[in-house]
Amino acid sequence: FVRVNPAPALMERDLAMVMPGRPDGIMLPKAEGGASVAALARRLDALGDRHARILPIATETPAAIFALGTYGNVTDRLCGLTWGAEDLPSAIGAATAREADGSFTAPYQMVRSLALFAAHAAGVAAIETVYPGLKDEQGLMDYALRARRDGFSGMLAIHPAQIAPIHAAFTPSKDEIAWAQRVVEAFDQNPDAGALQVGGQMMDAPHLKLAKRILAAS
């Protein structure tokens, strides 16, 4: 994916430079809802591109927060939503987005949650924002594992060294895969069951959905 500048004139120049190389996708910073994505999709169409996907950074301005519910059914090019906690603090005059221990302050915890739910509401991948500690591999792993636990399906990296730990965090374990297989097999064998027991635990449609998601990620 290639990140373009958000300013229209600069974006136009960037697209003219990068689209001949047929990038897999465009990262759109400072997106303010589905209208921003639709406008970029139209521009890609006009340039003759038919395959590039769009990944907006959906939380970098105050207005963007109130447009998070507008990404559904905008364009098939939309492949996910990600969020950021760097530009928004400066936009509202906040000193920082983080507590002394590195965790997000309350406003940015809310922004993260809204971006997560907005992605799922739009039916696209929810992508966690970056972890800034380049040399803190354990901190990165913990951060990525929390993101996966909370419902994110991927994460941005700011350095190639972060890619392997992120992949490891988002790869289901053998135990998770085995559990998911048991759940799917149980429902396959009982297609009319609304709920059933697997390993002594009651399972229903949400568990089946989670199991299928785990297998898809394995």
Range list of H helices, 19-125: 34-46, 62-65, 87-92, 106-122
The neighbour count for residue 125, using CB atoms within 10 Å, is 16
Structural domain boundaries, residue 56: 2-129
Task: Return the pLDDT at 64.
Answer: 98
Task: Return the pLDDT at 157.
Answer: 96
Structural domain ending residue among the three candidates 129, 149, 166: 129
**Does 2 score more than 90 pLDDT?**
yes
> Phi/psi at 67 (nearest 5 deg)?
-110, 10
Mean pLDDT, the chain, whole residue set: 95
Q: How confident is the model at residue 192 (pLDDT cuts 50, 70, 90)?
A: confident
Alpha carbons within 13 A on the beta-carbon side of 139: 10
The structural domain count of the chain equals 2
The answer on 194 and 125 residing in a single domain is no
**Nearest CA-CA partner of 102 in 144, 143, 158:** 143
154: three-class secondary structure by DSSP: strand
Does the global pTM surpass 0.85?
Answer: yes
Structural domain ending residue among the three candidates 92, 108, 129: 129
Instruction: Give domain status of residue 135, yes or no.
Output: no
Instruction: Give domain status of residue 157, yes or no.
Output: no
Per the DSSP assignment, residues forming a β-bridge with 57 are 82
Instruction: Give domain status of residue 91, yes or no.
Output: yes
Rounded-to-integer distance, Cα 59 and Cα 9, Å: 22
125: three-class secondary structure by DSSP: strand
The answer on 196 and 119 residing in a single domain is no
Task: Return the pLDDT at 187.
Answer: 92
Say which CATH number the domain at 68 has.
Answer: 3.20.20.60
The answer on 76 and 20 residing in a single domain is yes
The answer on 203 and 96 residing in a single domain is no
Instruction: Give domain status of residue 192, yes or no.
Output: yes
Instruction: Give domain status of residue 152, yes or no.
Output: no
Contact 58, 28 (CB under 8 A): no
Task: Return the pLDDT at 101.
Answer: 86
**Does 217 score more than 90 pLDDT?**
no
The neighbour count for residue 13, using CB atoms within 10 Å, is 13
Q: How confident is the model at residue 105 (pLDDT cuts 50, 70, 90)?
A: very high
Question: 173's torsion region: left (phi>0), alpha (psi -120 to 50) or beta?
Answer: beta
Instruction: Give domain status of residue 60, yes or no.
Output: yes
Instruction: Give domain status of residue 164, yes or no.
Output: no
Task: Return the pLDDT at 194.
Answer: 86
The answer on 125 and 182 residing in a single domain is no
pLDDT above 70 as % of the chain:
100
Contact 153, 126 (CB under 8 A): yes
Instruction: Give domain status of residue 136, yes or no.
Output: no
Structural domain ending residue among the three candidates 68, 97, 129: 129
Q: What DSSP designation does 162 have?
A: G
The answer on 21 and 123 residing in a single domain is yes
Average pLDDT over residues 192-213: 90
